[in-house]
């Protein structure tokens, strides 16, 4: 019978055991991985519920969900951080690698990877040095896109009719601008009130620039000819809203010429680089916007005098040239003499032509008048009357009714048509004989008795009208 092998050392060393067994007096039960991770998570969150950590950003990225992920590091350590979408959207700057920041939040663990991380509520740039580094990084990136190129700059209008001012409505800046404009050259001003510092200031300034640019010409609100973005002096943190990318892009894309007057002369923001002109102060911006009215009037008067003098000199020079040219022209009598002679010749020919024409017309009138003398008319009248009487006698001799008086008769049928042959008379049956003093009805043998003279006659078919003849010439 085999005996199981046993190592005396395993009975005294717990690490050498094969099976887990509860040791006498052991009150630590085994935990699952999840239980241990949850316990660590509670311990870490309870012990580090509110911390502020200073470090340099590394591996900064914004996920498609809007969450921001990065790592905070120093010379000896690194800790992961996450900033959820709601807090990341309210960041006052664009976090980039290499920027030193101070992150405020709580420490927690990520059981899925057995790592701890910092959940950040607020993220701030750590000091002016770090802020200047962020400034230079943003300046280099936007400059590489050409937003600060000189070719993009627009010339300022000489005398703007409407000026748009983007600034705080309650500060001394707007009063200085309005006072300076009134002293130099009164101009219509439209103020777009905005926050110039703090949370939301950058978005308001960018919206104001785009709002002025969106005004349509000729609308109910006049479109500015010039826009001034102004703010008083302050620290780099106070002026940071004018370094925001949204403000820089709005100014660079504005189609209206812009003047940036942010801070004092030594303060430089990215808005100054994007604007068409940078003014050292808001008051200087007003001086750049409009000329001095009195100086403008003097300049106009000077130009007017020079213009009048030039016109007078030109007129005098033209008069001298005209006199010089007139000396070379022929005299008036020499120019008119040939024309006068030609006029006289034409007048003589016209007079002779009219007299000759009058003679010809007079002769023609005399010839025509002789044809209208009374003796000639009387002879022609007698000749035409005799001819007319002869035609009348001829007409009487040809009248058929004249033959009836000499014993002839006209034979008609019952319809009134003239019967000229015996065959037609036989066919007609009833005839009417027209004598000079009346009609007599007769009947052909074998036909019905003739109608009484006073009996109604059958309707006669109208005969075709005789062909029209033109009237002959009487004379």
* C-beta of residue 117 within 8 angstroms of C-beta of residue 108: yes
Whether pLDDT at 18 is above 80: no
Whether pLDDT at 437 is above 60: yes
State the DSSP code for 5.
-
Q: Which two tokens stand for residue 157?
A: 């209008």
Percent of the chain with pLDDT over 70: 85
pTM, to two decimals: 0.50
- pLDDT for position 4: 46
Whether pLDDT at 1 is above 50: no
- pLDDT for position 205: 95
Among 145-149, 178-182, 344-348, the minimum mean pLDDT is found in: 344-348
Q: Cα separation of 467 and 461, whole Å? A: 18
Among 6-15, 61-70, 252-261, 325-334, the minimum mean pLDDT is found in: 6-15
Task: Report residue 191: phi and psi, to 5°.
Answer: -100, 130
Q: Which two tokens stand for residue 62?
A: 């914004």
Averaged over 342-352, what is the pLDDT?
Answer: 87
Give pLDDT tens digits for 117-171.
888 988 887 766 677 878 888 899 899 999 999 999 999 998 899 999 999 998 8
Q: pLDDT band for position 22 (50/70/90)?
A: low
- pLDDT for position 447: 63
Whether pLDDT at 468 is above 90: no
* C-beta of residue 69 within 8 angstroms of C-beta of residue 81: yes
What is the residue-averaged pLDDT of the chain? 82
Residue by residue, DSSP assigns 94-133 as ---TT-EEEEEEEEEEETTTTEEEEEEEEEEE-HHHHHHH
- pLDDT for position 99: 81
Whether pLDDT at 2 is above 80: no
Whether pLDDT at 462 is above 60: no
Give pLDDT tens digits for 365-411.
888 776 666 677 777 788 888 888 888 888 877 777 777 777 788 88
Averaged over 290-303, what is the pLDDT?
Answer: 87
- pLDDT for position 372: 67
* C-beta of residue 267 within 8 angstroms of C-beta of residue 279: no
For 48, 102, 110, 462, the CA distances from 45, given in Å and listed in that order, are 5, 19, 12, 138
More confident call, 190 vs 46: 190
- pLDDT for position 367: 80
- pLDDT for position 25: 61
């Amino acid at each position: 019978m085999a005996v199981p092998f046993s190592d005396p050392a395993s009975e005294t060393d717990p690490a050498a055991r094969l099976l887990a067994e509860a040791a006498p007096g052991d009150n630590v039960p085994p935990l699952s991985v999840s239980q241990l991770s949850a316990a660590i998570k509670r311990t870490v969150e309870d012990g580090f519920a509110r911390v502020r950590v200073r470090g340099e950003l590394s591996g900064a990225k914004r996920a498609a969900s809007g969450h921001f992920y990065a790592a905070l590091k120093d010379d000896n350590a690194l800790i992961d951080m996450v900033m959820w979408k709601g807090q990341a959207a309210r960041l006052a700057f664009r976090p980039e690698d290499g920027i030193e920041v101070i992150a405020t939040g709580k420490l927690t663990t990520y059981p899925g990877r057995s790592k701890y991380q910092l959940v950040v509520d607020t993220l701030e740039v750590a000091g002016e040095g770090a802020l200047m580094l962020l400034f230079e990084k943003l300046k280099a990136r936007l400059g590489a896109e050409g937003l600060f190129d000189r070719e993009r700059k627009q010339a300022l209008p000489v005398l703007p009719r409407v000026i748009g001012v983007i600034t705080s409505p309650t500060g001394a800046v707007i009063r200085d601008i309005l006072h300076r404009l009134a002293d130099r050259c009164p101009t219509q001003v439209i103020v777009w009130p905005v926050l110039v510092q703090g949370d939301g200031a950058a978005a308001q300034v960018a919206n104001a620039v785009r709002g002025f640019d969106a005004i349509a010409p000729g609308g109910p609100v006049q479109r500015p000819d010039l826009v001034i973005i102004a703010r008083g002096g302050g620290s780099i943190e106070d002026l940071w809203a004018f370094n925001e990318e949204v403000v820089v892009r709005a100014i660079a894309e504005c189609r209206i010429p812009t003047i940036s007057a942010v801070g004092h002369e030594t303060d430089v923001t990215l808005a100054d680089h994007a604007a068409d002109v940078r003014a050292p102060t808001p008051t200087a911006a007003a001086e750049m916007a409009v000329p001095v009215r009195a100086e403008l009037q003097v300049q106009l008067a000077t130009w007017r005098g020079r213009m009048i003098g030039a016109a007078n000199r030109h007129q005098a020079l033209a008069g001298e040239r005209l006199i010089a040219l007139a000396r070379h022209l022929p005299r008036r009598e020499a120019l008119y003499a040939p024309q006068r002679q030609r006029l006289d010749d034409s007048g003589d020919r016209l007079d002779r032509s009219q007299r000759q024409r009058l003679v010809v017309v007079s002769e023609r009138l005399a010839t025509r008048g002789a044809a209208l003398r009374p003796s000639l008319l009387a002879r022609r009248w007698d000749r035409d009357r005799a001819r007319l009487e002869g035609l009348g006698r001829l007409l009487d001799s040809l009248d058929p009714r004249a033959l009836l008086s000499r014993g002839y008769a006209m034979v008609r049928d019952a319809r009134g048509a003239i019967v000229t042959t015996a065959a037609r008379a036989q066919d007609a049956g009833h005839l009417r004989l027209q004598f000079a003093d009346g009609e007599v009805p007769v009947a052909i043998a074998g036909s019905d008795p003739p109608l009484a003279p006073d009996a109604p006659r059958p309707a006669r078919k109208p005969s075709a009208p005789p062909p029209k003849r033109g009237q002959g010439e009487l004379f």
